[in-house]
Amino acid sequence: MTRNKIICLLMLTAAVTSSCNVINPQEDIPAYIEVDSIYVYTDMETQGTASSNLPDFWLTVDGIFLSGYPRGTKAPVLYGGKHKVELKAGIYLNGIEGMRAFYGVFDPFDTIIDLQPGAIHKIIPRVTYYAGAHFPLLEDFDHSSFQLTTPVTSAELLRESNSFQNQGGIVVMDAAHPTFECHTTDSFDLPGGTIPTYVEINHKCNTEFSVSVKAITTLGPLDYELLVVRSSDTWKKIYVNLTSIALQAQHATDWKIYIKSALAPGAITDTLRFDNIKLVY
């Protein structure tokens, strides 16, 4: 074979190889981060219960936010070697699965991971409320008096033993008392702005109930229904978002939280159970 033919053959081979690489480029092999559980730690006396409902984790690597993922997902990460990994606990805003957000009153969980291509790195984050969090309302129904008031026309809010966590609150509506309403005994000043502000509620109710707020503004009283919570025959945790309404009415004062319900049509009795009602910002 002549020298020119050899050169042409080598050039043709290189061209074919190059074109194959363009069509099928080599792909980096990601490492994976998997979070199956998220643990919450609290000071019971000052922060209340550690009960939680955290279905998601939000992933950041070296300060770059990647995405939010449902717990149990193997999140792909195109990094190798040691990197700073930050995980934030995610919630359903107002209990709506399609509205997901990280829980802004929790500190993120930070760790250093030696990321290896193809390896699954399992992490169990431990999160706490951030150090400056405020808790104007902590109602766990374990003390002698409630921080919630009911009008005389309402079905009564009573204490029930062996509830969700120790004692809880129970309401039974019937023909004699077909409606229920309670509100916080004390009023609060919410921070306003974009500061994350939430009401946490553990609940088990065979009929729906609503959560609303009332406040005083320079233009008159504010009465704002936040959401209606569906019935559930098992205990659930909901995070009611007050941030947006506090931002809209950030000059309002004397905020109070209301919970209301009514006997369902055709029902003889309906029962509401509550525990660990908490206001935090």
Percent of the chain with pLDDT over 70: 90
Are 95 and 209 within one domain? Answer: no
Express each pLDDT in 12-24 by its tens digit.
444 444 444 445 4
Classify residue 59 as exposed, middle or buried by CB count within 10 Å of its CB (0-12, 13-18, 19+): buried
Does residue 4 lie within any of the structural domains?
A: no
Within the chain, residue ranges assigned H as helices are 3-23, 44-47, 243-248
d(CA 199, CA 228): 14
Same domain, 157 and 121: no
Model pLDDT for residues 171-215, shown as the tens digit of each residue:
999 999 999 999 999 999 999 999 999 999 999 999 999 999 999
Q: Are residues 142 and 260 in the same domain?
A: yes
Q: What are phi and psi of 41, to 5 degrees?
A: -120, 130
> What angle (nearest 5°) sits at the alpha carbon of residue 17, between those of residues 15 and 22?
95
- The average pLDDT across 44-51 equals 96
Task: Give residue 28's pLDDT.
Answer: 85
Residues 190 and 244 in one domain: yes
Domain that holds residue 78: 31-127
What does the alpha-carbon distance between residue 237 and residue 76 come to, in Å, rounded to a whole number?
A: 30
Q: Is the pLDDT of residue 89 over 90?
A: yes
Residues 59 and 147 in one domain: no
| Predicted pLDDT of residue 1 | 52
Q: Which amino acid is at 101?
A: A
Range from 52-61, 125-134, 216-225 carrying the lowest mean pLDDT: 216-225
Residues 95 and 163 in one domain: no
Cβ atoms of 52 and 129 within 8 Å: the answer is no
Q: Give the neighbor-by-neighbor strand order of the sheet with 148-149.
A: 148-149, 179-184, 253-262, 209-217, 220-229
Q: Which residue do the tokens 């009573």 mark?
A: 158
**Boundary residue ending a domain (127, 147, 172):** 127
